[in-house]
Amino acid sequence: MTANGLSDLDLRIASLSVHADDSYAMVSDVAPPLHVSTTYHYNSDPSKLKSAREHDIRIKTDESSFIYSRFGNPVVERVEAVLSAILNGHAVVYSSGLAAYTGSLAYYHPKRLSIGDGYHGCHGVAHIFTRFSGLEEVPLYDDSVSEGDLVHVETPINPTGQSVDLAKAVDFARSRGAKILVDATFAPPPLQDPFEFGVDMVMHSATKYLGGHSDLLAGVLVTKDPTVRDALLRDRGLLGGAPGNFEAWLLLRSLRTFKMRVETQAKNAGKIVAWLDTAIKNKEIPVLTKVYHSSLQTEEFVRKQLKTGLFGPTFSIEVESKDIARAVPSRLKLFHHATSLGGVESLIEWRAMTDASVSETLLRLSIGVEDADDLIADLKAALLSFSEN
């Protein structure tokens, strides 16, 4: 942060979400305007004009102005200022989480990708790279991992919401001379900061908690190294992965309320998971067999990673049979039966519909900002209805 004296202040996430882009305002509007233009006037003073041989058109410097919105535009720049501040590094925004992931694979261009459990779409992107760059996909902690390879860890994991040991994964990557990328979509700040564990790059599907309203697609890569950020920007300018102006504007607007949304969602989820866990232990709901969530893991690393005491707002449950799993969503009143997660409205998904790798008895729940007790009552009534005649 450079203007308005903000650089003198030690601001926290809630304040940064509202003010980290203040110095980027080009007009006096309090609410950032939506800039729709794809192209920008060049400076009318010829002495200020540089040829492409003298400057990098894909990286905007303080002195240079916008050129073409695939390379950068005023709203994307403001969003990146906010995301850099709250994600604790240099953020580059993309048109979706998978576009961001594609950007990271294009940048690292590893021979081997050591990838653990997680979102099936990232595995799908990796498969495409095996086709056109000869990338080899190997499991996490595979013996073949060596210098120049990339380790990809997702934590907490989609769809269970359970955590993976980051310190262990970082040690493994370092011992092999590999880089490590963490998909932290399921635990945005303030819940978790993977950089505290020394990872090289953090990724989020901003479609989820950062966007938070189920109305935009976006993704973000974050690096501590400004030269890596510049390289990502150069690639993005050519690969065409920048978000559209309107999506970037929606994301900026969403970020203003980011912390209060995530905290409410995480608190609600914690309460619901605790209730489900007790219900299983007391055999109160016959059809409910399992609940998965980081808050139920007993390994020491979980509370080191999710150190605020709040865990991710998305988790999974299992019920007795495939038929019951398929029918549960239609008996709920406050949960939409839909894929995705992170929005203010609670969602439930019979996960086998979009993910062929999971059990057909699994349901994924993304908890929103409704009242937790109302959500519990809704779940209780729906799940108990299968035991009534």
Ligand X SMILES: Cc1ncc(COP(=O)(O)O)c(C=O)c1O
Min separation Cβ 342 and ligand X, Å: 9
Token pair for 293 = 């969530």
Nearer to ligand X, 24 or 335 (CB): 335
Pick the binder of ligand X from 119, 197, 249, 258 (CB under 6 A): 119
CA angle 215-220-224, nearest 5°?
155
Q: Is residue 104 at the binding interface for ligand X, with CB under 6 A as the rule?
A: no
Pick the binder of ligand X from 17, 96, 160, 268 (CB under 6 A): 96
Residue 43 has a CB neighbour count (10 Å cut-off) of 12
Q: Is residue 114 at the binding interface for ligand X, with CB under 6 A as the rule?
A: no
Q: Is residue 80 at the binding interface for ligand X, with CB under 6 A as the rule?
A: no
- Per-residue binder mask for ligand X (CB under 6 A), 205-224, x = binder: x-x---------x-x-----
Dist CA 59 CA 166 (whole Å): 32
Tell me which stretch binds ligand X (CB under 6 A): 69-77, 102-110, 182-190, 380-388.
182-190
Fill in the DSSP letter of residue 373.
H
Residue at token pair 């990286």: 59
Min separation Cβ 227 and ligand X, Å: 25
Position with the least CB separation from ligand X: 97
What is the Cβ-side half-sphere exposure of residue 291, based on CA atoms within 13 angstroms?
24
Nearer to ligand X, 126 or 285 (CB): 126
Residue 8 φ/ψ, nearest 5 degrees:
-80, -10
Nearer to ligand X, 24 or 192 (CB): 192
> In this structure, are residues 349 and 307 in contact, taking their beta carbons and an 8 Å threshold?
no
Q: Is residue 87 at the binding interface for ligand X, with CB under 6 A as the rule?
A: no
Q: Is residue 117 at the binding interface for ligand X, with CB under 6 A as the rule?
A: no
Q: Is residue 162 at the binding interface for ligand X, with CB under 6 A as the rule?
A: no
Helix (H, G, I), strand (E, B) or coil at 299: coil
Could you report how far apart the first and last alpha carbons of the chain are, in Å? Answer: 63
Fill in the DSSP letter of residue 41.
P
Residues that bind ligand X (CB under 6 A): 96-98, 118-119, 121-122, 154, 158, 183, 185-186, 205, 207, 217, 219
